[in-house]
Amino acid sequence: MRRHVRFLSLLLTVILLFSAVFNLSAGGKKEAEKPTEFKMGFMTSLSGTFAAVGETQKMGTLLAAEEINAKGGLNMPWGKVKITTSVKDDEAKLDVGVRRFRELTGEGINALTGTVWNPMSAAINEETKIAPLPYLAGNVPALDSFKKGNPAIGTFSVAFTPWSIGYLAGASVIKQMGKKTIFFVSRADSWGSTIYEGLKAAIAEYGGEVVGFAEYPLGNVDFSAAINKALEVKPDVFMACQFGGDAIAIFKQAYDMGLHKQSMMFNTWTTNVVGKGIPPAALKELYALNFYYYNLEGFGNPELEKKAKAYTDAHMKMWNQPPDAYGTISYMAAKIIFEAVEKAGTFDPVEVSKVIKSTTFDTVKGKMAFREDNELLGDYMAFIVKGKSKEEMKDANDVWKVTGSFGGPTTLPSLKSLGY
């Protein structure tokens, strides 16, 4: 009898223990399904070659988060959820970037934006195949990352790939400006070679000819050899794909050597950071492509102009300066992620990625949606800008004026060419 009682007592203890464990597990799972914060990861080159551009990306990302938090947070099925942001510096070094990304995933981030350097975004795409999460690059990522089978489930490009930069640059100077002969200065990496591929595609479509070619590594400071060749060839357009400090150097030298007197100066991709670094006398001779310019007054699309003013006002209020192009890429990336999370009703990366893939987003550049290859497509993919003279500038940030735009399906490489 005593043994029977002892057995029943032991059995009751076991049942109570299992019940407690089950309740704790269920409760933990219940809590996990209702997180109290959304952790937004941000990583870019806040030091090194691209530091100035990286700072603008950070501004755009933090503004996007602040706009949601000012309304109480994300609207989730279980209530409002605040956004917190974890910022990391990849120092423009691949090994550092991969370590920083793993630190962010160790912190439990729910999504990532940022990255200014093309090879870094390719590395992060590979990392997110191991640690899945929505990753919308704040730069122009590598074309190879979007070939069939290559993008991770959560990897999307807000600002297309370098191929589109080349195509848009070629279409702009040939179709809209009536220029036919081009001297092209490439960068000795995938950025330069892929832009050149896009340029050749535009030439094949619209006519035109490359009459001179030169190539330099990232960080080059002397472009006089290429400029001298162009002075001999006399092309309609002197086109260079250099970015950041390299772009400032090449167009300052081209102006100093008098190339602007015989050829149009054209930078395939620019920002305000670049524009402010070029002397005004040289800047006023320069045309370029820009992902976004904050002042669209008089552009001809009232809705887009209204969006630009509201966005610029918010950026000025928070940072005391207007948004720049790469800051806008990161801003759009973060806003898309936040909207997709709300629509998905969960932080689950697979479900959020499905929503990103299937939604038309109303952005500062108008309505846009992702193609099958995860590249964002819309009617205003890039703006054609011209540098302002010193007399035209209202202030230090007023460096460009918008003269046109390009958009639509042809601005992206064909899905067939990417294996779809």
Mean pLDDT of the region 289-312: 96
Give the per-residue pLDDT at 48: 83
User: What letter represents residue 345's amino acid?
Assistant: G
CATH number of 37-159+302-378: 3.40.50.2300
User: How many whole angstroms separate alpha carbon 239 and alpha carbon 146?
Assistant: 26
Quick one: how far is CA 109 from the chain centroid?
Answer: 19
* pLDDT, average across residues 220-231: 97
CA distance 340 to 170: 34
> 11 pLDDT exceeds 50?
no
Interacting residues of 17 by C-beta distance below 8 A, sequence separation 6+: none
Q: Is the pLDDT of residue 355 over 50?
A: yes
> How high is the pLDDT of residue 19?
42
pLDDT tens for each residue of 198-224: 999 999 999 999 999 999 999 999 999
**What pLDDT does 30 receive?**
39
Q: Side by side, which strands form the sheet with 264-270?
A: 209-216, 181-187, 237-240, 264-270, 286-290, 382-387, 400-406
Mean pLDDT, residues 223-230: 98
- Tens digit of each residue's pLDDT (9 = 90 or more) over 384-411: 999 999 999 999 999 999 999 999 999 9
Helical spans, DSSP H, in 186-290: 190-206, 224-233, 245-256, 272-277, 280-283
pLDDT above 90 for 117: no
**Burial status of residue 276 (CB atoms within 10 A of its CB: 0-12, 13-18, 19 or more):** middle
Q: What is the mean pLDDT of the chain?
A: 92
Does the pLDDT at position 281 exceed 70?
Answer: yes
> Which pLDDT tens digit goes with each residue over 164-189?
999 999 999 999 999 999 999 999 99
Give the pLDDT confidence score for residue 32 in this predicted structure: 52
pLDDT of amino acid 244: 87
Please determine whether the domains at 37-159+302-378 and 163-290+382-417 fall in the same fold group of CATH. Answer: yes
Question: Mean pLDDT throughout 134-162?
Answer: 96
Q: How many residues does the chain have?
A: 420
d(CA 310, CA 186): 37
pLDDT of residue 77: 97
- Whether the per-residue pLDDT at 323 is higher than 70: the answer is yes
State the fold for domain 163-290+382-417: Rossmann fold (3.40.50)
Q: How confident is the model at residue 5 (pLDDT cuts 50, 70, 90)?
A: very low
Radius of gyration of the chain (CA): 25
Separation CA 373–CA 151 (nearest Å):
8
Q: How far is CA 303 from CA 104, 181, 298, 310, 327, in A?
A: 38, 36, 11, 11, 21
- In contact, 251 and 282? CB cutoff 8 Å: yes
Domain ranges of the chain: 37-159+302-378, 163-290+382-417
pTM: 0.90
Mean pLDDT across the stretch 8-13? 42
C-alpha closest to that of 309 among 298, 10, 319 = 298
- In this prediction, residue 418 has a pLDDT band, given cuts at 50, 70 and 90, of very high
Shortest CA distance to 367 belongs to which of 379, 354, 356?
379
Q: Which among 310, 302, 288 has a CA at the least distance from the CA of 388?
A: 288
Which two structure tokens, joined as six digits, stand for 232? 């001999």
SS (H, E, C) 106-153: HCCCCEEEECCCHHHHHHHHHHHHHCCCCEEECCCCCHHHHCCCCCCC
Res. 96: pLDDT tops 50: yes
DSSP string of 286-302?
Answer: EEEEES--S--TTSS-H
Is the pLDDT score of 353 beyond 90?
Answer: yes
DSSP of 46-107: SSSTTHHHHHHHHHHHHHHHHHHHTTTSEEETTEEEEEEEEEEE-TT-HHHHHHHHHHHHHT
Does 415 have pLDDT greater than 70?
Answer: yes
Residue 20 has pLDDT above 90, yes or no: no
The conformation of residue 375, written as its DSSP 8-state character, comes to B
* % pLDDT > 90, the chain: 89
Q: Are 140 and 161 in contact (CB under 8 A)?
A: yes
Helix or strand (DSSP H, E) at 267? strand 264-270
